[in-house]
Amino acid sequence: AQSVTQLGSHVSVSEGALVLLRCNYSSSVPPYLFWYVQYPNQGLQLLLKYTSAATLVKGINGFEAEFKKSETSFHLTKPSAHMSDAAEYFCAVSLIQGAQKLVFGQGTRLTINP
């Protein structure tokens, strides 16, 4: 069975600093990987997805993630944090391309300090 671990339930960075949110997965077959963002009182919005094409995936709002098979990781980064990036971020894995069964990490709450 697949699983996802997000290291750090809370991450705090200064505005303008690098954002790094860590995600490691376990899967018996090549997975499909996703990062979602959740703003307060809202649903989940897709940031980016890895579907076995390029290992470096660019998403919305300046975020990107790199799939590293040898490390079973899919860390999310953004070079320069903005106040509007404050939210909760979820990494998810699916074994099936249609994404009907997602397994989520526990989430990382990102705080941006002015």
Residues near another protein (CB under 8 A) are 4, 6, 9, 34, 36, 41-46, 49, 51, 90, 92, 97-107
To another protein, the closest distance from the beta carbon of 13 in angstroms equals 21
Q: How far apart are CA 11 and CA 2, in angstroms?
A: 25
The DSSP call for residue 2 is -
To another protein, the closest distance from the beta carbon of 71 in angstroms equals 21
To another protein, the closest distance from the beta carbon of 38 in angstroms equals 8
Q: Which is nearer to another protein, 7 or 17 (CB)?
A: 7
Q: Are strands 87-94 and 103-104 parallel, antiparallel or unpaired?
A: antiparallel
- Token look-up 């990036």 returns 85
The H helix count followed by the E strand count for the chain is: 0, 11
Q: Which is nearer to another protein, 3 or 80 (CB)?
A: 3
